[in-house]
A and B are shown apart, each in its own frame.
Chain A
Amino acid sequence: MTEKRAFQKVYTRLTRITKATCSVRASGIGYDELALVDGRLAQVVKIIGDEVTLQIFSGTEGVPTNAELVFLGMAPALKVSEELAGRFLNAYGEPIDGGPALTGKEIEIGGPSVNPVRRMQPSQLIATGIAGIDLNNTLVTGQKIPFFADPDQPFNQVMATVALRAQADKIILGGMGLSHDDYLYYRNVFENAGALERIIAFINTTENPPVERLLVPDMVLTAAEFFAVEKNEKVLVLLTDMTLFADALSIVSNRMDQIPSKDNMPGSLYSDLARIYEKAVQFPDGGSITIIAVTTLSGGDITHAIPDNTGYITEGQLFLRRDSDIGKVIVDPFRSLSRLKQLVIGKQTREDHSQVMNSAIRLYADAANAKTKHENGFDLTEYDERTLKFARDYSEKLLAIDINIGIDEMLDTGWKLFDRYFSPEEVGMKEELVKKYWPGQSGKQ
């Protein structure tokens, strides 16, 4: 992508240089087109008359006014082919694994959107073995869902676990501002699982310039579309960390003198994020793109513009929380939500799924109330005591992230816990289900 071609016009007089952009007098230049400025990659962001303004991804430090500038005649692109499998690349799609250069069809990244009438309704359950996800927040192929997590939470581990259990044909990792250690972590996990040939990674680490990150999601999704559309594969995309991606957006918009909106983010944040997440899709021919992302929060604040806009775009969100009663990290049942779960719950899973899920969460909420009551110094009723015991068991046997069981087993565990602590009236489920699934119910009546 960054090689110069023969007989191209070389410009050597930059008319203006700011922290992130430079301008040059030129004509016949296409919007969004790439250029090399002093050997650095840049992209056209504004054309007024014959003045073309370019954003230099790695910054303008040390760029002189007589720097060589060559337009490359195309928008950022990626060479796609089956050979992508197993490769680790940088934000420009260049190998960082010491392997050979990519070959294949060169496709402009950030391509057009899918015609909504050509999408299929997502309907394939993704089993992860984690009950906090499969039971309460079931994932579906073609879904897009982020982990909302504080930086100290083990989201990278959970995401890697989900990715490996998800039975995807390809796993494409987009690392944005990933620490070098985490990059190596992912590499090792995938390597140890023997999954390297299913992995493709586009990595921008904290050592790389932040603005380069802006290319990562589009690179990842261009590769994903190739495998999902051309090869009808089930592709799982992992994007971490989208907060750092959004921070890069705000850097650029600030340098372009745009008026910031909420939390100093650009006014177009919603559209910028939607453009990425909406690439998640179920295609009619069986291929699909599922996106699992990470949005790190600051002190759990989801009203910040980044998680807030993300929440409006994605199909739910997953929250991790440390449960101090059992000393484990759990998937928070109150704040987590998978919007597409209704498409598979009770359809691809057992008929009692929906009611077991809801009843357990309601009882867990009762326990939370009881806990508050207790903390405020009030006496607990006998029912309160039972809910607290239930909550502990529920957390340990179902919500903890180290669980790895099938969905039927999760449901059976749910019924057993109901039976241990409650009467059927207290649980308040549909009668026909109680008759069928409540342990020992047929014997009692």
Chain B
Amino acid sequence: MLTKGKVSGIISNLVIVDADGPVAQNEICRIEHEGTKLMAEVIKLNRNQAFVQVFESTRGLRVGSDVEFTGHMLEATLGPGILSRNYDGLQNDLDRLEGIFLKKGEYNFPLDEEQAWEFKPLAEAGETVEAGSWLGEVIENWIPHKIMVPFKFSGSFTIKWIAEQSSHRVHDVIAVLTDSRGEEHQITMVQKWPVKLAVKAYKAKTRPFKIMETGIRVIDTLNPIAEGGTGFIPGPFGCGKTVLQHALSRQADADMVVIAACGERANEVVEIFTDFPKLIDARTGRKLIERTTIIANTSNMPVAAREASVYTAMTIAEYYRAMGLKILLLADSTSRWAQALREMSNRMEELPGPDAFPMDLPAIISNYYSRAGFVELNNGKTGSITFIGTVSPAGGNLKEPVTESTKKAARCFYALSQQRADSKRYPAIDPIDSYSKYFEYEEVKDYMARNISPDWVDQVVRARDTLLRGREAQEQINILGDDGVPLEYHVRYWKSEVIDFIILQQDAFDKVDRTSPIARQKYMLGKVLEIADREMKFKNFDEVASWFKRLINSLRQMNYSKYESGEFYNHLKEVDQMLIEIAEL
């Protein structure tokens, strides 16, 4: 028998319920309100009182309202039909909610219950299986969507019966399993999983070893993210976080992209809704929306569901990872989630930590980041979740609790710099402050040596050094004046500007420049290093500046031209001509 209760107190979306039986921490309950039921999660228990956070506005709610506990935590519904969907934080299918405005207490089943899928068995009767084993597959968009033994099943099972290749709806039974005690379990194409728990149905989590291409030079070349790795992008507002996240979601080399739009602007999600059905994924020739799932809990939607939205997104990613797929998970912005935690902690009158955030914030964040990763499945196949979150530090100050906690958890740090954004040097990722820990991984280095070029790491280090030397030279010039430094300082500074303009800066709104495949990145890095290595003689610093400006102009035209096109080579010729001229001086 499920526990019932009555509302005894209301403070905004924190509701106190007097329960008549056992209640679990994080259990979901439903509060009766004007003919609808408001969903809420238990966040604290005190004797028979349950403190629940309601995922909706509590306006009009009265003391004495009936409450019904469900006996389970917040769960994601997993099955074919998740791709291309737009969900809210509780996994309601937004497209199937009626009306322009969201109505209180309206929930729907996240999958299409009527759609027929062509089920193809991958296992046979008599086989021994465990949680996560592939029983069969259906084709979803173009992804072979595996129907698995539910993650909740523990121990090993024998397949008693499995359906032949045939058409099925999600709730149809497609297999019957027998457990060790001889009990039978019917399997459908749908399973549920509590979003706050990590799916562990794999053999091992291994160290990431290959890089995930994003087409963004400052990431791929200078601060590569590994497939199955984690990264975060902190930056003040107006520094291009969103443009960068959108570029990643469009271009990254992933089978599936899950976007958790958490507490951010609705119009940014609308941009994805509008563009992705039109844009083509260059790798597969398919529309981007076909590989994308969006979890939208925008800043005006109920605050309590923000937390749910990031967990729902992670659970969906884990589900698809278990099919042996390469998932990119983006969350914009994890700070909004942390703020939601803060609001609730405040209402519960907990003792606050730094900046009034809850004390366990670092643990919550690191626990979340740890769910990403490269895994070896029980059947020997591999899958990965690469996770990149954005952080919106208050006042642009990176010493605030969310940024600091995330820095401990994430392996790549893409610091957006206000100064670069102000001078319109986009993407505004600071080349000196940012880092990728994966650059130190022997396996990753080895992978780059084999797949890009043997001296790749060495080249990247040289590019970084050139930037650093350029920055030092610039500081000296600023202090001592153009005349006060040797001419060599000007040359050094301008060589770093070449790398800045040609490698770091990238026009996200230009059709060609917005994405740069690794082969092209390799070519351009080679070219700018060739320039950086040249001995150059100039008469005066005016000449240095004007020569390099012309050079940068031609190199930029190369970036704007289709790779290896006639136009591209014409501009290359201009560049080479200039290099010959300078050598002859």
Interface residues of A (CB under 8 A from B): 27-33, 45-50, 75, 108, 110-122, 142-143, 229, 258-262, 267-268, 270-271, 274-275, 278-279, 281, 283-284, 302-305, 308-309, 311-313, 315-317, 334-335, 337, 339-340, 342, 354, 358, 361-362, 365, 373, 376-379, 381-383, 425-426, 428, 430-431
Contacts and interface: CB of A to CB of B under 8 A. Distances in A.
Nearest to B61: A31
A278 B265 contact: yes
A381 B546 CA distance: 11
Contact of B352 (A48, A259, A270, A304): A259
Given A29-B63, A316-B238, A378-B481, A116 B343 contact: no
Greatest chain B CB density within 10 A among A50, A229, A335, A428 is at A428
Contact of A267 (B57, B263, B356): B356
Interface string B307-342: 000000000000000000000000001001001101
Greatest chain B CB density within 10 A among A271, A311, A317 is at A271
Interface residues of B, number: 76
B101 A431 contact: no
A410 to B, nearest CB: 18
A272 B151 CA distance: 39
Contacts of B423: 362, 365
B548 to A, nearest CB: 11
A307 B583 CA distance: 53
A115 B356 CA distance: 31
A143 B268 CA distance: 11
A311 B395 CA distance: 10
Given A114-B300, A381-B545, 13 more contacts: A46-B10, A48-B11, A115-B94, A116-B273, A118-B100, A122-B267, A259-B356, A268-B303, A339-B242, A379-B481, A381-B541, A382-B542, A383-B546
A379 B483 contact: yes
B95 interface: yes
A119 B266 contact: yes
- The 6 lowest CB-CB distance pairs between A and B, nearest first, are A303-B395, A278-B300, A274-B299, A311-B237, A378-B481, A30-B60
B368 interface: no
Interface string B3-37: 00000111110001000000000000000000000
B287 interface: no
B482 to A, nearest CB: 7
Contact of B550 (A113, A316, A379, A425): A425
A335 B101 CA distance: 35
A60 B263 CA distance: 35
Nearest to A46: B11
A365 B236 CA distance: 20
Contacts of A425: 549-550, 553
Contacts of A426: 546, 549
Contacts of B97: 115
Greatest chain A CB density within 10 A among B269, B356, B394, B397 is at B394
Interface in B217-258: 236-238, 242
A45 B12 CA distance: 7
B3 to A, nearest CB: 20
Contacts of B424: 358, 361-362, 365
B274 A121 contact: yes
A383 B541 CA distance: 12
B552 to A, nearest CB: 7
A340 B267 contact: yes
B63 A50 contact: yes
Contacts of A303: 394-397
Contact of B9 (A49, A339, A342, A382): A49
A400 B346 CA distance: 46
Interface in B55-105: 57-64, 86, 94-95, 97, 99-104
Contacts of A271: 263, 299, 303, 339-340, 343
Nearest to B104: A112
A258 B346 contact: yes
Nearest to B93: A117
Contact of B8 (A48, A120, A365): A48
Contact of A381 (B63, B271, B482, B557): B482
Contacts of B12: 45
A113 B63 contact: no
17 contacts: A28-B62, A31-B62, A113-B101, A119-B270, A120-B270, A259-B352, A260-B356, A267-B342, A271-B343, A278-B300, A312-B392, A313-B265, A317-B238, A381-B545, A425-B549, A426-B546, A430-B557
